[in-house]
């Protein structure tokens, strides 16, 4: 299989490139101007992509987008997050839709943030979109793939939960929320529940995230796909599991106001203090089997233990 990947330099992208190459697929990176390495070129800011450079691929995977937790969500930062996802996705979808030999499938990143704050409700791929900036962004992000769908290309939108990796995300925040990576409060018994701990966290190991993307590429899965393990946990249970895995106490809570001061209220609420109890119905029904269905196993894999 010839696979074109946008956003290949991120944590998921790098792992996916390695997995595809490891099973013998031909992988080409879609690179922005001044990006190191070899690959096909595009300039999503300028709205430029050369159709001939992306002709003849069997599949396209779009993981491009600015890190959601990079900075506080000022008006300017939210616009950068929007511009890094919606317009580039539309540009890519429109371009592949017009190719003489379009790919059979477009796999596009999205997030469980689509559902907003779900409280304790069980959320499936059929659940409606929530409210707030992140939900609105995910809705627009997924809608930007429409030109590819209209052209008959199979489109799968990956609504990823918390991808367990020490490189960043919620796990990285818990390990080092107030400083550089070597300051790890959990190791000193200071990484207890965040903001009360009752919010649901839907998670997936990086290993299973990549395996699930390969599964989507290889099957006929289409539409929204919840990329989460089958056993979501509350933040309280997540931190307890982290303590068990690290063999450290996790009794001292992290107050919500501290995260709001650190990250800004809107970002802290959307990424840490609110939650979604999401189930992977499409993956399970299509025959995918998780290797890390239990939070302890997922954390051990992420931490290399």
Q: Which domains, ranges and CATH numbers included, belong to the chain?
A: 2-303 (3.40.50.720)
Q: Which helix (H) or strand (E) holds 213?
A: helix 206-218
Strand partners for 233:
201
What is the phi-psi region of residue 169: left when phi exceeds 0, alpha when psi lies from -120 to 50, beta otherwise?
A: left
Instruction: Give whole-number Cα distances, 75 to 24, 100, 101, 137, in Å.
Output: 44, 40, 40, 14
| pLDDT tens digits, one per residue of 115-147 | 999 999 999 999 999 999 999 999 999 999 999
Phi, psi angles (nearest 5°) of residue 48: -115, 130
What is the rounded end-to-end Cα distance, in angstroms, of the chain? 33
β-strands 105-111, 48-49: how paired? Answer: unpaired
Instruction: Give the angle 31-106-160 at the CA atoms, nearest 5°.
Output: 90
d(CA 107, CA 155): 6
- The per-residue pLDDT of the chain, averaged, comes to 89
pLDDT tens for residues 178-226? 344 433 444 444 467 777 889 999 999 999 999 999 999 999 999 999 9
What is the pLDDT, as a whole number, of residue 187?
42
Contact criterion met (CB below 8 Å) for 245 and 184:
no
Q: What is the per-residue pLDDT for 196?
A: 82
Whether 262 contacts 161, CB under 8 Å: no
E strand or H helix at 301, and its extent? helix 295-303
Pairing of the two strands 59-62 and 2-6: parallel
Residue 168: per-residue pLDDT: 63
Q: Please say whether the beta carbons of 175 and 181 come within 8 A.
A: yes
259, containing H or E segment = helix 256-263
Neighbouring residues of 105: CB distance < 8 A, sequence distance ≥ 6: 58, 59, 60, 153, 154, 155, 156, 216, 217
Residues of the chain below pLDDT 50: 177-190
Determine the Cα–Cα distance for residues 295 and 197; give it in Å rounded to an integer: 16
State the pLDDT at residue 38.
Answer: 87
Predicted TM-score (pTM) of this structure: 0.92
Question: E strand or H helix at 155, and its extent?
Answer: strand 154-160
Secondary structure element (H or E) that encloses residue 268, with its range: helix 265-268
Q: How many residues does the chain have?
A: 305
């Amino acid at each position: 299989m010839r696979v074109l990947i946008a956003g290949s330099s991120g944590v998921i992208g790098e792992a996916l490139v390695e997995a595809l190459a490891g099973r013998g697929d031909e992988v080409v990176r879609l690179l922005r101007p001044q990006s190191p390495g070899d690959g096909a070129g595009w300039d999503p800011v300028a709205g430029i992509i050369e159709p001939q450079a992306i002709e003849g691929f069997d599949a396209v995977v779009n993981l491009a987008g600015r890190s959601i937790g990079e900075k506080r969500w000022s008006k300017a930062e939210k616009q950068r997050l929007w511009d890094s996802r919606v317009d580039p996705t539309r540009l890519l979808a429109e371009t592949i839709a017009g190719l003489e030999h379009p790919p059979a499938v477009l796999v596009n990143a999205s997030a469980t943030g689509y559902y907003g704050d779900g409280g304790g409700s069980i959320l499936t791929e059929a659940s409606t979109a929530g409210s707030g900036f992140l939900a609105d962004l995910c809705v627009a992000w997924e809608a930007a793939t429409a030109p590819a769908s209209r052209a008959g290309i199979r489109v799968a939108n990956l609504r990823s939960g918390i991808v367990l990796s020490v490189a960043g995300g919620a796990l990285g925040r818990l390990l080092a929320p107030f400083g550089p990576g070597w300051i790890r409060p959990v190791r000193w018994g200071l990484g207890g529940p965040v903001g009360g701990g009752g919010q649901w966290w839907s998670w997936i190991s990086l290993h299973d995230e990549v395996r699930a993307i390969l599964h989507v590429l290889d099957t006929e899965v289409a539409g929204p796909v919840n990329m989460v393990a089958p056993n979501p946990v509350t933040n309280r249970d997540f931190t307890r599991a982290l303590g068990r895995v690290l063999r450290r106490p996790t009794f001292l809570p992290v107050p919500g106001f501290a995260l709001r001061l650190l990250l800004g209220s809107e970002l802290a609420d959307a990424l840490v203090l609110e939650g979604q109890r999401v189930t992977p119905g499409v993956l399970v029904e299509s025959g995918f089997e998780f290797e890390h269905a239990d939070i302890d196993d997922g954390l051990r894999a992420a931490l290399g233990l």
